[in-house]
Amino acid sequence: MTFEIIGTYLAALSLLIGSGFIIIGVIGLLKFNDPMTRLHAPTKVGTIGIGMLLLASTLHSFALGEGSVHELLIMAFLFVTAPISANFIAKANIHRGECETPPAPARDDTWSTLNTPEEDKEI
């Protein structure tokens, strides 16, 4: 067993695990029936599914002797951007009324996305 073979097998294993999580995410996306719970599926795919695929890529590049760490950067960009899109979809769902109305905040008046001035409410 050389380093190359072990690395290739490890890469294959992480590819399998990553694809497994992605397929579970897709099942969740199809199975759940309201937009807010459906939102939970892609956030999972975005983190561990893609993470394992990128880990496989890194392992493979190191096994072939030309290591690259660009995958770390992709991971970092993904981790920074994924919550923002999820946040916007959640706010859109609140506005469309496709989920339960959120409870009022404990100390303040309202949630900032619902805090529109009176004259802007009729579009």
Partner 1 sequence: MVRTFKWLMPHPFLTLLLAVVWVILQKEVTAGMAVFGVILGILIPWGTSIWWPDRPKSLRLGKLCSYSFMVVWDIVVANIQVAWVVLTVPNSKLKPTWIVVPLELKQPEAITLLAGTITLTPGTVSADVSDEGHSLLVHVLHTDDPDAVRDDIMTRYQDRLKEIFS
Residues found near partner 1 in the complex (CB under 8 A): 21, 24-25, 27-28, 31-34, 36-37, 39-41, 43-44, 47-48, 69-70, 72-73, 79-80, 82-83, 86-87, 90-91, 94, 99-100, 102-103, 105-113, 115
Q: Is 27 helix (H, G, I), strand (E, B) or coil?
A: helix
Q: State which residue, 62 or 91, has the beta carbon closest to partner 1.
A: 91
CB of 26 vs partner 1, minimal distance in Å:
10
Q: Is 41 helix (H, G, I), strand (E, B) or coil?
A: helix
Q: CA-CA distance, 18 to 57, in Å (whole number)?
A: 11
Please choose, from the candidates 7, 19, 14, the residue with its C-alpha nearest in 3D space to the C-alpha of residue 60.
Answer: 7
